[in-house]
Chain A
Amino acid sequence: MAHGPAKGFTRWLFTTNHKDIGSMYLWFSFTMFFLGGIFALVIRAELFEPGLQIVKPEFFNQMTTMHGLIMVFGAVMPAFVGLANWMIPMMIGAPDMALPRMNNWSFWILPFAFALLTSTFFMAGGAPNFGWTFYAPLSTTYAPDTVTFFIFGVHIIGISSIMGAINIIATILNMRAPGMTLMKMPLFVWTWLITAYLLIAVMPVLAGVVTMMLMDIHFGTSFFDAAGGGDPVLFQHIFWFFGHPEVYIMILPAFGIVSAIIPTFARKPLFGYSSMVYATASIAFLSFIVWAHHMFTVGMPLVAEAAFMYATMLIAIPTGVKVFNWVTTMWKGSMTFETPMLFSIAFVILFTIGGFSGLMLAIAPADFQYHDTYFVVAHFHYVLVPGAIFSITAAVYYWLPKWCGNMYDEALGKTHFWLAFAGLNITFFPMHFSGLAGMPRRIPDYNPLWADWNMISSVGAFLFGAAQLLFLVIVIKTIMGGRKATARVWEGSHGLEWTVPSPAPYHTFTTPPEIK
């Protein structure tokens, strides 16, 4: 039974090995991260000064749209699926994912989806230009013809996510080693289990809404066309019914990662394990009843407006519980600050700042001033970049020695952290100010009133971009060689993945471990 990987390219094409597939997801995500990053830099370069310098407004809109789509669906989601593939079987003592062939397929359709999506740049009409939230009728009646490619791309991405989610649920529920009860599972496994259910619940909704767009565009229906009796606001309700849980899909696994890393480097067990599980579940539940807080200005009736405001404010409670638990985990620990820990601490601080602006946005009357300004851009970048991106980065530094058997260069890792940390804050913190001062989002040009903040943001963005190039260098360097890692890797590490040698053999736990 014990055999190594096949040779050559077909190893990757036909592989059903969770580690191979995990690696492919991660590299794919890394590639998309750079592509989406380039788009972001085009945006920031244009906004460096008032006036139109580098791109035309049409192309600017394509950049904002594709930056969002690529980062959400191409960079963040596949990265978490990649981590799930690598780590979940090793964390629960399973030999592989439950449905390995489907696993192969759910990865391999992704490159095609993104090829479809990005090929629109080379077509008449250009790439999607209606924002990553693609509100109808801008995305239907008024869209470039290439919107059809976008729709099919989203369909494929959705299928991939749903298959991935089914696989993760099947693995966690069926393949745990004897003695690994649910309440003994590492939090990363827990958060992914809940995330997978969210995916199964909302990806079909996304598929539904793009199919309705397809019908409106090509088959004469008017779901979203007011002139035909349809309703443009219906689009937003459906989109955000998907979109809000989607936000948590991008953050719950991050909670799991940080809940693994902080105890390791504090050398102290996670504080409030069971309250973490319940908090995660509550956040997931609440995510289904707050969607219209993205739509406070569409003119909903007063009661609806108030109800969504209250529900949204509630989210602060379980989120607060998590932050308090992490801080208490650090309290009276014996901390060291290796790169994964630095990224995790930055996660806690900066994600909390994003949570604060989220709480401000929840106050509906105030949201009338915040909505669709750079304040919102600042908010969601504070939750997504330190939230999703920093946690993924922390995870890579934390588990990379396990994956490839070599330690990364700690000095370079720390340099990466401080550059990324500075870049992020220089980029996104001033956006709070430009937004409050009245700058709308998604505009290619602006009044000089906001020029100073924008210039600072643009400088920060290039610094952040440069930091990520260093990350690429560090990862490649570590894979090529370096100090050999032990099985435990970290002094304070706990869990099944640290009981197998580093690098983890191609097949692990072919006989289930025993959990006391």
Chain B
Amino acid sequence: MITVSSLTKSRAQVRVLDDVSLEGAEGTVTALVGPSGSGKSTLLRCLNGLETFDAGQITIAGHRLAAGPHAPGLLERLRRDVGMVFQQFNLFAHLSAAENVALAPRVVLGLSASDARARGLDLLDRVGLRSFADARPATLSGGQQQRVAIARALAMRPRVMLFDEPTSALDPAMAAEVMEVIVELARAGQTMVVVTHDHGFARRAASRVVELAAGRIAREGLAGA
């Protein structure tokens, strides 16, 4: 499902990613760990084309990314199949929770407004927020916002989900409720790459743990190893 080979990227003369290779089979959860600045976010953002890279290549959900700039059409197709959840949630501030979830199905997949809303409500139900469908993001707690963000990404029925420290901006109680949702997804067989500092999660839900240090893979192994 995911193949990264010899990925290299420099930023201002610094090698942020240095010959990174990685495999992620269908239905597996890859945990990306490592110290701050080691290149975890950069690697994740390369996986859905938010960042370009200098050498190597990526195959993800059947799409191939090569070094250098990507064609917009390729990225749009790839991103339908690869969802992403951000540390800062990034919910659309002017839309309600349900509208946040329904926007992409309506605009990108061309669903009717009512079908898109139905899909949105289903997903909010799945993350336990059905009753907050019409709430604006600003009125939700951080944990609730992140669960809406997960529902929003799932609305495209992606084959791969990418998470960038989904719980780092949350206090422990809220982090737990978000982790619950992610663990649930893992059980359901969703292919995922999760950047995290939470070793507990890595042990509990990940199939493999990959540790980055200074842009290189320092350790790689089965969870719990």
Q: Do A and B belong to a common assembly?
A: no
